[in-house]
Amino acid sequence: MEPVLAEELTAMGATNVAPARRAVSFEGDKKMLYRANLELRTGLRILKPIKQFTARNEQQLYDGIYAIDWSQYMDLKSTFAIDGVTSSQFFNHSKYVALKSKDALVDQFREREGKRPNVNPVTPDLRINVFIYEHTVHVALDSSGDSLHKRNHGRETLEAPINEVLAAGMIKLAGWNCDRPFLDPMCGSATIPIEAAMLAYNIPSQIHRTDFGFMNWPDFDSELWETVRKEALDRVREFDHPIVGFDSDFQAVRIAERNVVQAGLENKVEIKRQKFERISEPSPAGIIVMNPPYDERLAMDDIYDFYGMIGDQFKKQFGGHQAWIISSNMDAIKSIGLRASKKMTLFNGPLECKFLKFELYAGSKKQKYKNKES
């Protein structure tokens, strides 16, 4: 996903954009920080670096955190939380990194003020990220607060939901240019169709969210934030193709319909109750992005027959479409009976999955090439 996120940031005007492992670094001003939080579709958190130092033992870690002037970022009334992450031979436990860092911060306040601020692990005023790679400690402020996959439009979920950031990334990886219909034949709670609609209409991903970490920072500029929101809404555009989600389950359809309304997309996304094997005469050739059961968290009676049915429907009813499927069940995927023209590895939570592209030709592939030659 790193190249997808890097492309988003570059398009937004960020500078020195550099993909790394499970992260992308970039530079920008305060307005860019606000825009990244409001508009990015494939980022989870926007971290603002404030300090980097070397530590090979707990005392050096403590001293490095203590040396930061925390009064620049918080006061005694502020609550805070520290997220520790480590990939180091010197520090084996992320929770210990967080604990040691917390001790240094509160000791600084206690020695200066005679009192200490309180920890709030759920909704802190200031969330701090301490990441250690080998002997280098990176300290950053979390400008997002809650993870950005939480779009805050009251989404209800079913068992085995897909993450909004993953859904948005899949749509972008599929190369959909918002120039044709979009279908999800097994939409569940409608995460994929909702993300498709937000992209198609260029609606900011966090437009329904009212609370970000940076709003508790001493330098928060409320007027600039309102300007960023207004400019983002001014970029919302029209879209003239259908976006449709199907599901066979009555409860899923009801939840999907409510989620679409909560997202403010009731006139932009259509939800239909229909089994995939009974879909006939779908919309004009479009793109299909779907997340079928893997037989992991949602058990199937016969997963191989189920995937075989998917392949049959592709051949019979979806000629001219382009289909993308994500699944962790590599054996079941073979039952589709079609050769994937592209394969990518993605993670849906802890599950390693393949994201596969299938070109679905109207008529035979051989006939398609004959027509081209003639």
Predicted model pTM: 0.89
Q: Which two tokens stand for residue 308?
A: 């075989």
d(CA 345, CA 65): 37
pLDDT at 373 over 90: no
Q: Where are the domains of the chain?
A: 2-142, 164-204+211-372
Name the fold adopted by 164-204+211-372. Answer: Rossmann fold (3.40.50)
Answer for the pair 213, 294: CB distance below 8 angstroms, yes or no. Answer: no
Average pLDDT, the chain: 91
- Cβ contacts of 173 within 8 Å, gap of 6 or more: 1, 4, 324, 344, 355
pLDDT single digits (tens) 38-79: 999 999 999 999 999 999 999 999 999 999 999 999 999 999
What class, spelled out in words, does domain 2-142 have in CATH?
Answer: alpha beta
- pLDDT category, 154, cuts 50, 70, 90? low
- pLDDT category, 161, cuts 50, 70, 90? confident
Q: List C-alpha distances in Å: 43 to 147, 169, 174, 243, 248.
A: 9, 9, 17, 24, 31
What pLDDT score was predicted for residue 302? Answer: 86
pLDDT above 90 covers a percentage of the chain that reads: 83
pLDDT single digits (tens) 68-96: 999 999 999 999 999 999 999 999 999 99
pLDDT at 366 over 50: no
